[in-house]
Amino acid sequence: MKAKAKSDETRARILAAAMELFQRQGFEETTMREIAAAAGVATGAAYYYFDSKDAIVLAFYDQSQQEMEPLLDAALASARNLKGRVGALLEVKLQYFEPNRRLLGTLAAHADPEHRLSPFSAQTEEMRKRDMQFFERALTGSRIRVNSELGQHLPRILWMYQMGVILFWIFDRSAAQRRTRLLVEKSLGIIVRLIQISEFPLLRPVRRMVVDLVETVMSD
């Protein structure tokens, strides 16, 4: 038991040292040798605990997801309508990641699902599933009812929307990322409105086309 704890502690120390250096001087400007030295271990040790420099960022992301779960629970409890619920989820994430906003860009660079560090890869599937459940709860706990086949796809669609917002935010260079806040405010309104009117008879053809599209794209 001693060893496990010590190993965990070393790993945590390396991760913490890396995050502080990344935050202070940026990802590219920080070397693995610096990280190891700051953590008080040899260069090779960092590679014993992390597959690569990028993998450290993924570990941070993973840790963040766990730490955010109670905050996301609270966010869902704070509002009843869909716009408020999804908006609260997004606000938690943006606030949590704020100190490391630039750092997430290194993850965004891996859109390739083949890449281990991609948010779309098989390795990150577990995280993805858990994350989508919050959007499922955002929907089921709201007053909106979607009876058509569109309903079952909405959690995934909202999750994808979230990924787009975060990507926009990472590269948003406006002061305090105000543009992202505007984007969220306005786009959420559109999405909720679209979901509401999606059951109108007039939009039935479009709705079916969208469902068809989503099912095609998601199929393996």
Partner DNA sequence: TCTAAAACTTGAACACGTTCAACTGAACAT
Partner DNA sequence: ATGTTCAGTTGAACGTGTTCAAGTTTTAGA
Which CB, 54 or 199, lies closer to DNA?
Answer: 54
User: Which stretches of the chain bind its own copies, using CB under 8 A?
Assistant: 105, 108-114, 167-168, 170-171, 173, 179, 182-183, 186-187, 189-190, 193-194, 197, 200, 202, 205-206, 209-210, 212-213, 216-217, 219
What's the min distance (Å) between Cβ of 52 and its own copies? Answer: 13
Q: What is the spatial distance between Cα 184 and Cα 196, in angstroms, rounded to a whole number?
A: 18
Q: What is the spatial distance between Cα 97 and Cα 22, in angstroms, rounded to a whole number?
A: 13
16-45: which residues touch DNA (CB under 7 A)?
A: 30-33, 41-45
Which CB, 3 or 175, lies closer to DNA?
Answer: 3
Pick from 23, 47, 64, 157 the residue near DNA by CB under 7 A: 47
Which CB, 9 or 73, lies closer to DNA?
Answer: 9
Binding site for DNA (CB under 7 A): 1-4, 6-7, 10, 30-33, 41-45, 47-49, 51-54
